[in-house]
Amino acid sequence: MPQKNMLSLHVPEPEVRPGGTPDFSNVPIPKAGSVPRPEVNVDPRAIRDLAYSIIRVLNREGEAVGPWAGTLTDEELLEGLRHMMTLRAFDARMQMAQRQGKTSFYMQHMGEEAVSCAFRKALLPGDMNFPTYRQAGLLIAGGYPMVEMMNQIYSNERDPLKGRQLPVMYASKEHGFFSISGNLTTQYIQAVGWAMASAIRNDTKIAVGWVGDGATAESDFHAALVFASTYKAPVVLNIVNNQWAISTFQGIARGGSGTFAARGLGFGIPALRVDGNDYLAVHAVAKWATERARRNLGPTLIEHVTYRVGAHSTSDDPSAYRPKEESAAWPLGDPVLRLKNHLIVRGLWSEERHKQAEAEILDTVIAAQKEAESHGTLHAGGKPSARDMFEGVYAEMPPHLRRQRQQAGV
Amino acid sequence: MPRKTMIEAIRDAMDVSMGKDDNVVVFGEDVGYFGGVFRCTQGLQQKYGVTRCFDAPISELGIVGAAIGMAAYGLRPCVEVQFADYVYPAYDQIVSEAARIRYRSNGEFTCPMVIRMPTGGGIFGGQTHSQSPEALFTHVSGLKVVVPSNPHDAKGLLIASIEDPDPVIFLEPKRLYNGPFDGHHDRPVTPWSKHPLGEVPDGHYSTPLGKAVIRRQGADVTILAYGTMVYVAEAAAEETGIDAEIIDLRTLLPLDLDAIVASVKKTGRCVVVHEATLTSGFGAELAALVQQHCFYELEAPIARVTGWDTPYPHAQEWDYFPGPARVGQALRETMEA
């Protein structure tokens, strides 16, 4: 009798679970400044290595080094630090507001502030982001009023979305921020379509798609890469790899592929990996990719390597599936701290000024919060009219909705 | 007036729309160079160039998702899904995105687009070339759903759909592409050139969405139909001698309830016919609305003649397709009830 080979199913597991000691020793972190910076018109085949490395600018000493350094002025760096600190303060206040019952839900950015804040500064007016729910830095760094964001979170009488959307699902055409959907990855292919439209009309605007590591497993991710590749759409496709999709570690979505960035290579799309906690690196890579798109050289895929420090959302408790100390062990550190140290090393900043800025920012956020709360919170004060519930389903209200509105007595 | 097939009328609608508005773009699988597997886009790429009419990868979600992005930019995409049976990969994009973008963004972003798809059976298309999935779309707030039954309407409704500010699901009964079909599969097919509704004016005109039309005036019973079933209903009325009033709904969402109610109040009887499966089909919505609005005028239970609750079979095509005999039987029963 020939011996039967019993098959067994492979189910990836993270290295460490709650109670274990966090260990990222198997995550190779190249030295800052060690990855070359190709010309934007490079043949994608010549830079396949970039999909497997990590572009980094800030070294351990807080110095900006290597060929990707130097894309930002001192003023821009100081502004960038302020944006990240603002987002962090905003997150903390809104997280608390949710705990106080002022809203039903919130999602933080803790640890990922550099990704959206730095990327935003590489965009021009008219460009369009197709964000996920974890890129509010695009709004903060883009100058969208914090009060408006809070009005949306509170679903109050000034909510720009009239109370129809779950908190953090912002939308602002003027600020290049496409309407957020709860359905993951749908916006990725839409970004490609928007970019195709811009190219069809011989416009100069570009689109930016955003997706998390977990959501790359959705079919829309594949469709987006096919379309971006086929039509050489002027789009930058970002993957924010924060290691976690709710409770699922990134290995479940990534499988046996080397990196998320490497997925672009099969489509002939240049793919870069960047230190997502390095404000300077994110900006430099964003600038490179956006320039490629603007010069009609086609799409770029960027994997931002970062770590989701906070819970997935206010409905999540990460201690149930990962060690509590894991974020502290994350080798790429804290984006705010790293930029702060860089500015201190450069003599542009100090601990004292940082503390002062923190206090100022907190005051600004609290003032915005007070103003927003004067227009109501989810369960108290002003709220959108029930009539608004029936508006906007169509450009013009059809007869059946008019009947239902009447029936609802509003 | 020129006579056209439904294919030519649909092509004409896109031609007119593309000529009138640079923002109208047309794409889908085999839609560009080849002109579509049903020839609906023939010549458009030659006339308007590859960036206005082009071939797409075989990805329905990609086609619809990209079109949504284009619509958000400000274009008016009119995309094709080769068969309605293959729209399901795009269902998330249609339901979660296209239908809701205006609502969820409070009008910051909108989605003026048309998704054309050949629908319906009667062509030995088997399971995946015969389905009528309209009820999957009429259940979705934010969509409009259109089903033309003749070349004249097809052109007018498609132009209106392309110009509409909201996403439109445009279902084209492929059995009607070349001529009307009354379900008598054993008789020779008549071409549109011999039918008055094959007369299609040149140039721009539009047929309003949300408006039904009475195809046959009658006093005894109202038949609610759309697409191919309009002709089946006509044949059934003629063959039974029952004086049926046939309403071609044309737009399923939003629905022309006024036209339906006026007719049923007059006739006191109602038969709903569609090719799609019975359970939770669009006929259920029609029957419920008629019951609600015409309860005191109804003299018989509302009847539904539809496809059976099975996948669309191949060899059993004519046992499945609700032909004139089955519709006629329902008419007689409704009159006798």
Contact between B65 and A220 using a beta-carbon 8 Å cutoff: yes
What's residue A255's pLDDT? 84
Crossing angle between the packed helical segments A351-374 and A74-99, to the nearest 10 degrees: 50
Catalytic residues of B: 129
Residue B124 has pLDDT above 80, yes or no: yes
Crossing angle between the packed helical segments A279-294 and A74-99, to the nearest 10 degrees: 110
Measured in degrees and rounded to the nearest 5, phi and psi for residue A302 equal -125, 125
Q: How far is CA A374 from CA A148, A296, A378, in A?
A: 12, 47, 12
Residue B169 has pLDDT above 80, yes or no: yes
Map residue A269 onto helix, strand or coil: coil
Predicted confidence band at B1 (pLDDT cuts at 50, 70, 90)? Answer: confident
The encoded tokens of residue A22 equal 């966090």
Contact between A197 and B141 using a beta-carbon 8 Å cutoff: no
Contact between A197 and B74 using a beta-carbon 8 Å cutoff: yes
The HSE-up count of residue B235 (CA atoms within 13 Å, CB side) is 19
Predicted confidence band at B14 (pLDDT cuts at 50, 70, 90)? Answer: very high
- Residues A80-100 have pLDDT tens digits of 999 999 999 999 999 999 999
Beta-ladder partners of A237? A209, A301
Q: Which residues from chain B sit within 8 angstroms of residue A199, using beta carbons?
A: 51
The HSE-up count of residue B80 (CA atoms within 13 Å, CB side) is 27
DSSP state of B268: S
What's residue A26's pLDDT? 84
Please, which residues 365-394 of chain A have a Cβ atom closer than 8 Å to chain B? 392-394
Q: Which residues from chain B sit within 8 angstroms of residue A175, using beta carbons?
A: none
Angle B291-B296-B302 from CA coordinates, rounded to 5°: 35
User: What is the pTM (predicted TM-score) of this model?
Assistant: 0.98
How many residues belong to chain B? 337
Average pLDDT over residues B240-261: 98
Contact between A162 and B106 using a beta-carbon 8 Å cutoff: yes
Best residue of A139, A152, A177, A200 to probe chain B, by most B CBs closer than 10 Å? A200
DSSP string, A53-65: S-B--B-TTS-B-
Q: What is the CA radius of gyration of chain B?
A: 19
Q: How far apart are CA A4 and CA B172, in angstroms?
A: 54
- Residues B279-311 have pLDDT tens digits of 999 999 999 999 999 999 999 999 999 999 999
Kindly identify which residue of chain B lies nearest to residue A223, measuring between CA atoms: B62
What's residue A1's pLDDT? 64
Smallest Cβ distance to B108: which of A179, A224, A399? Answer: A179
The encoded tokens of residue A276 equal 């997502």
- Residues A338-354 have pLDDT tens digits of 999 999 999 999 999 99
Contact between B66 and A189 using a beta-carbon 8 Å cutoff: yes
Domains and CATH numbers, chain B: 3-199 (3.40.50.970), 213-336 (3.40.50.920)
pLDDT tens per residue across all 410 residues of chain A: 667 899 999 999 998 999 999 989 888 999 999 999 999 999 999 999 999 999 999 999 999 999 999 999 999 999 999 999 999 999 999 999 999 999 999 999 999 999 999 999 999 999 999 999 999 999 999 999 999 999 999 999 999 999 999 999 999 999 999 999 999 999 999 999 999 999 999 999 999 999 999 999 999 999 999 999 999 999 999 999 999 999 999 999 998 778 999 999 999 999 999 999 999 999 999 999 999 999 999 999 999 999 999 999 999 999 999 999 999 999 999 999 999 999 999 999 999 999 999 999 999 999 999 999 999 999 999 999 999 999 999 999 999 999 999 999 99
User: Quick one: which of B136, B143, B50 has its CA closest to B85?
Assistant: B136
The encoded tokens of residue B52 equal 């206005």
What's residue A201's pLDDT? 98
Residue A231 in contact with residue B32, Cβ under 8 Å?
A: no
What's residue A256's pLDDT? 79
A221 touches chain B (CB under 8 A): no
Task: Please provide the CATH number assigned to the domain covering A48-309+321-379.
Answer: 3.40.50.970
A and B: number of Cβ contacts within 8 A: 144
Residue B271 in contact with residue B331, Cβ under 8 Å?
A: yes
A45 touches chain B (CB under 8 A): no
Please say whether the dihedral angle defined by the alpha carbons of residues A224, A230, A233 and A235, taken in this order, is positive or negative: positive
